[in-house]
Amino acid sequence: MMFFLFSIFLIFCSFGVISSRNPIHSILFLVCVFIFSSVLLFCLEIEFLGLSFILIYVGAIAILFLFVVMMLDLKINDKLFNRLQYDSATYFLIFFLFLELALPISSLNSFTENLYYSNFDWINWLSHIETFTNIQAVGQVLYSYYFIFLLLAGFILFVSIIGSLMLTLTLNKGGDLRS
């Protein structure tokens, strides 16, 4: 149930990314898309990919987009964007998107009926493997063998944050910093 709820939120936020006229609102919707997609990965018990979505996409890429938009100081001009000009092509693409999504779902019902009547042998693989989660296994390798590279990556990200902040700050005539 939670999977479908977060899927609906993900679809609404992804629609907000492409329909927002303000670039900062679009980036904030993009951050929500990344967070909801990582929550969906957590629901599927793929913890490592969920955490990497949050760390890489939200923590690095979306913040980089936000810095670029803030540094460019974009102005929105209503005269340049004629929304009625693109409506027919948009509705055409949305129709084919929903058609592409609906056809596999309609054929899924016959697949699940055939699945119940087949001769599959059930094997409980959890009893044959160790009970490490993905996060524990990756954390054990990262913090034991590759800790130098992990510290180096953290230092590089720290220096890039300081550099981007210094690029956005300006000096007053009195020598004071302002943003």
Give domain status of residue 168, yes or no.
yes
Is it the case that residue 112 has pLDDT exceeding 60?
no
Give domain status of residue 126, yes or no.
no
pLDDT in tens, 9-36: 998 999 888 888 788 888 889 889 999 9
Number of domains in the chain: 1
Give domain status of residue 166, yes or no.
yes
Is it the case that residue 179 has pLDDT exceeding 60?
no
Which residue range forms the structural domain that includes residue 178?
A: 146-179
Give domain status of residue 153, yes or no.
yes
Is it the case that residue 77 has pLDDT exceeding 70?
no
Give domain status of residue 156, yes or no.
yes
Confidence grade of residue 39 (pLDDT, cut at 50, 70, 90): very high
Give domain status of residue 39, yes or no.
no
Structure tokens at 139: 């954390």
Give domain status of residue 8, yes or no.
no
Give the CA distances from residue 136 to residues 66, 130, 131, 146, in Å, rounded to whole numbers and listed in that order.
32, 12, 10, 15
